[in-house]
Amino acid sequence: MGFPMAGHLSLDKSVDVYVFNRTGSVSSKWIKQYAGIQLTSFQSLSCKFDGVITCLKDDAAISSFLLKSGVLNYIKTNGFIVDHSTSSLDLVDLLTNNKEIISKKISFFDAPVSGGEAGAINGVLSVMLGGPKKKLSKITPVMETYAKLITHIGSNGHGQLTKMVNQLCIASLIQGLSEGVQLGMKSDLNMSKVLDAISGGAAQSWQMDNRFKTMVKGEFDFGFAVDLMVKDLKIALDYSNALNLDLSTSKSILKKYKKLSTLGDGQLDTSSLIKLLN
């Protein structure tokens, strides 16, 4: 996700883009495609950043990069951090209460995204933003280079809470879509005509528009992976348990995704849920 997002940002001539990836070959590949400066470490830099934008796998990767790499030393006082990862609320609390971040008056924004790999490539992601209202006018133009919709939900944590809602909704949509597609295929229906018939009605969704045909074909290499959905659903369900919510459908779907991962399909995209119905 971060690869094409940074690519769109690099097209903004008013911004100097420095890129860093824990796997150096990835940032080297990025530099060959886009205009920017590759960083291999955060030691003895001659510059300081107005802000840092991150898009990482999980809590451990985010906290390691932001708190252990030395990058905080190179963010200007009154700078910003925009984290587009999906993380836990504990991680948000850890960062917003970090003494160095507070002392340098760095504004932190939890800003998870939706739209998948295609959304990142096409620069049309949706951003769910949690954080202070100050600096919104500064960070919004930056995010507009790779996002079509940016919604400031509320204070820190509200971005991640909204992403929990998003992931719970998506998981149920994919389960329903899987069951519908499987019924149609087992009934020898013309699935192209089925899609034409139902995609303009109440069943229409992003998942249907983008995954119906590929699910019929048995193609599951389209970005957001099963293992990431497992991580995201765990976060949402842990939080729901704290609210005494019994989200039985989501719990059942999480078990299915865990099974896919156990079967070795953790890197397939989330529409591969239909494989369990074969």
Instruction: Tell me which residue has tokens 């995201």.
Output: 232
Active site residues: 163
Distance CA 274, CA 278 (A): 7
Dig out the tokens for 1 from the structure: 């996700």
Length of the chain: 278
Measured over the CA atoms of residue 121, residue 124, residue 128 and residue 134, the dihedral's sign is positive
**Bridge-partner residues for 52, per DSSP?**
81
Dig out the tokens for 193 from the structure: 């005509």
Alpha-carbon 39 to chain mean position: 23
What backbone phi and psi angles, to 5 degrees, belong to 205?
-160, 170
DSSP 8-class letter at 146: T
Q: Are 38 and 172 in contact (CB under 8 A)?
A: no
Output the CA torsion 130→133→134→139 (10° steps).
Answer: 50
Q: Are 209 and 243 in contact (CB under 8 A)?
A: no
